[in-house]
Amino acid sequence: MADAALDALIDSLRCLPGVGQKSAQRMAYHLLQHDRPSALRLAQALETAVSEVKHCARCYTFSHEPVCEVCLDEARERQLLCVVESPADQAALERTGSYRGLYFVLMGRISPLDGIGPRDIGMSALLERASDGVVQEVILATNFHAEGEATAHVLSEQLRARGLKVTRLARGVPVGSELEYVDLGTIAHAFMDRR
Amino acid sequence: MADAALDALIDSLRCLPGVGQKSAQRMAYHLLQHDRPSALRLAQALETAVSEVKHCARCYTFSHEPVCEVCLDEARERQLLCVVESPADQAALERTGSYRGLYFVLMGRISPLDGIGPRDIGMSALLERASDGVVQEVILATNFHAEGEATAHVLSEQLRARGLKVTRLARGVPVGSELEYVDLGTIAHAFMDRR
Ligand SMILES: [Zn+2]
Ligand SMILES: [Zn+2]
């Protein structure tokens, strides 16, 4: 029971969001008791993902290739740039099928309490990206809670200072919620009503 | 976003108990966005645990060595054998400090609905272990829900047929609960009142 390898596994599983000591122990026991092949498959998948999943040079989302499929898609409206916090939010927007422009993924949001400022998210890269002369409108689709709103506020000021039109997803999205958990219809409506 | 390595990681994370598609996606994004070193550490811990964590030849619990520390402990009362479903349950009993005998870990329980019968858990190994001539009493400490009770019932009949004294943890343990989540005092009491 006092096994170093088992303890190390339990400890490592706690790096997963939402997994505490008790869940980590349950996961470790489950894998070792019932599903060692899956444990090895997960180990391999983690290593492969870490080595192969990179960031798109243009929009910064996860990508296998130097530039992602969305950024390369000629059918996209290149004058529209939608700013999201994460690839999960981008995926949620894509699933609605209601947006045909391009994206920029911040990979975070401003959070003064956690010491995350504008420099810790991709703000300067966004300002450069949005100033390419093709983008005419930046749609801020950060989440609708305090940190997402603060992020949108800061980005909005900076983008407007550079002469860009800035809009925000309409508040059809329930306040306080995370985009990736919102139903598709609400998001589609919020795209239409952007202000 | 349609990245094979990312999809494989999300899929692999679903092997963890309690992790569905949504949580798996959140975990994968979190690791790749914010914590790649932890992802690699987890991969390594999984591989090490799978290769190094084996089963004790006597009690079948997880063990680095061929025979675990508890089984080798000369201070343990060798005439008492406590049967548990999992190493987690064994750990819960050990934490009470109220039991000084040996253990046998079934690594499962009888569950007709899942097609798990007496042969799929360590019953024949238990019968052999309990018939060593030293064990005088087998304490059944399977969980107190339907499947655990059914398991205890089947084991009890087989062990009694071999002339062994069989007891069950007293029902001080709340019915319907999992041992590993029960408070220590209740378990200690249940050991004393075993019947
Ligand atoms: Zn891109
Ligand atoms: Zn042992």
Inter-chain residue contact A31 with B16, CB threshold 8 Å? yes
Of A51-60, B45-54, B61-70, B175-184, minimum mean pLDDT range: B175-184
Q: Which of A8, A11, A50 sits opposite B39 (nearest CB)?
A: A50
The answer for B 122-181 residues in CB contact with A (under 8 A) is none
pLDDT at residue A1 tops 70? no
Q: What whole-number distance in Å separates Cα of residue A111 and Cα of residue A119? A: 11
Chain B within 8 Å of A71 (Cβ-Cβ)? no
> Residue A68: closest CA among chain B residues belongs to which residue?
B1
Q: What does the mean pLDDT of chain A come to?
A: 88
Residue B84: the pLDDT is 94
Q: What whole-number distance in Å separates Cα of residue B142 and Cα of residue B174? A: 13
Q: Domains in chain B, start-ordered, CATH in brackets? A: 4-52 (1.10.8.420), 75-168 (3.40.1360.10)
Mind listing the pLDDT tens digit for each residue in A36-65? 999 999 999 999 999 999 999 999 999 988
Chain B within 8 Å of A113 (Cβ-Cβ)? no
The ipTM value here is: 0.72
- Contact partners, residue A14, CB within 8 Å, separation at least 6: A20, A21, A24
Nearest to A53 by CA among A70, A66, A42: A66
The β-bridge relationship of strands B54-55 and A137-140 is unpaired
Residue A88: the pLDDT is 85
Inter-chain residue contact A5 with B64, CB threshold 8 Å? yes
Q: Which of A12, A25, A108 sits opposite B88 (nearest CB)?
A: A25
Inter-chain residue contact A40 with B32, CB threshold 8 Å? no
Chain B within 8 Å of A13 (Cβ-Cβ)? yes
**Per-residue pLDDT band at B1 (split at 50, 70, 90):** very low
Ligand 2 midpoint to CA B66 (Å): 8
What are the φ and ψ backbone dihedral angles of A167, each rounded to 5 degrees? Answer: -125, 165
Q: Which of B5, B30, B62 sits opposite A32 (nearest CB)?
A: B62
Mind listing the pLDDT tens digit for each residue in B56-90? 999 999 998 899 999 999 999 999 999 999 888 89
Ligand 1 midpoint to CA A120 (Å): 19
Identity of the residue numbered B107: M
Question: What residue has token string 């609605």?
Answer: A96
Mind listing the pLDDT tens digit for each residue in A87-122? 888 988 888 888 899 999 998 888 888 788 887 788
The whole-number average pLDDT for the span B45-65 is: 93
Q: What whole-number distance in Å separates Cα of residue A98 and Cα of residue B21? A: 23
> pTM above 0.90?
no
Ligand 1 midpoint to CA A183 (Å): 24
Give residue B49's region: left, alpha or beta (phi > 0; psi -120 to 50).
alpha
